[in-house]
Structure 1
């Protein structure tokens, strides 16, 4: 009996040692999720697909295979659904719709076959969203198109596996800043609130994201090159579009900004919640477009904030 107990203990020790070695042994790396720069939506990329330089998503240019990704606020979800369904109704045959589980939830998958330039193209449209958790405000449309002669590499099973791997991440602000047509060399203590798809950024002061209660700066670009005598009116028209009430311009003058022609307007207004604010707008003109910087603060903090607004302005540089 003693020998039997010894043998059992020895066998158990050997098994535990083997198990530990197995757990410590290197395992094949999981397929990597790839996120196109600036997007919150990524997936495991099959075949020879690479990040596209022409659109947000991936492409295999040789085989004319593309995965395009629309990353939008969740308020756009209904519009995405209407757009995708309307498009598939008119362009796609053998239409199928199904609930489709993916990495972060369950979406709707629409698939079918279209004819483009006389050739068959297989298409899939995944509509996915996230309303809670780490990514609380996201609607995504992931579209895949595969020509018939590329199905040997990008079969339906391969495409569906890629779509099942669709994953969300929090907004990659650093990446998004890198996509802007300008650099922010000095944020003067402000932090990034959001990067706008139109090529702008909102900076805010304080821990809260409420721009009705905290000072903020908007830096954006636009098209337009008015003559020197018309720049004041042009700048005033831009400011009139701001989401503020009872705007009263207190000063308007041409001004050199970063060694280029510009215009400054100072004004008073009320925020959307009725609180009095002061603001400054600088427009720097160049070529066929302009850079616009708007700083907004409560009246009580204006004297402290103005120099910080100006520091942000002076730190805006074109991206070379």
Structure 2
């Protein structure tokens, strides 16, 4: 009896050894994150700053994306071609199949502004039999710090009058001037911008106690508990700051912190210089470009002159004006964004040394 049992056991073991191994479930792709995001313990990323993008690469014919959103609009692209627009709040999983066999880049882009909430990226998962490839980071890096002009607030509109829902639906941060010029130059980019915020004064004197310099260190604009601990791999060669429209676009009201424009100007310059020096200390290799319109360009020039007294790299300024301002609530239109991108690119073309030899 024992010999029969032993023989049966041996036969079963032989059959198990000969059986093909069970196919392993496809694993999420490694990703490259453009922009700030909170890395969660489960491998997902939570993000809220404008124009965040997440990329992965694989060899195969199909890939799925899993996300959770509150009210963001997210665009999915394969090899640079838009394939889907995710606009419904909640959890979503979408598969893009039927791709030509070969290497592909999958990219998820945040196109709306979310001043609170944001989204959570769960993962890109290729189809069974695919081969995960390492994501490709770019040698050039450029950062944009600003307000609604940098966000791309309502830039898809063809007129100034918009409801708040229309502002949300007609904002495309990926077509704002920053991402436009970054992609043209083959650079990774970050957009750390918040509509309505200034250096010392927010739009129309509202939201006292908040400012762009105050929230700048956060990985997500509405989350004060997660801040960037170190620069890590993010070491931009160029940082573009466009702050001042909200400080200067509306008259002072009774009860504000500044008795007159001269007091506001002095505070604006002092806080701007302090913020710029903080940014320069965090990224000492970076070249700063300070943008400004007629409203405050004279102040920006004075700030640059102060910074240049001891700056490691010369700080330059860029004036913007003569725009249609046909976006929502008299903001930049898509045409204006392209004009600003061209002006900024022309300035950068005059300073190829800014990239420290990094090729696009």
Bin the TM-score by the shorter chain: under 0.3
- Relative to total residues, which structure has the larger strand share, 1 or 2? 1
Structure whose alpha-carbon radius of gyration is higher: 1
Answer 1 or 2: higher relative contact order, Cα 8 Å, separation at least 6: 2
Q: What TM-score results when the alignment is normalised by the length of structure 2?
A: 0.26
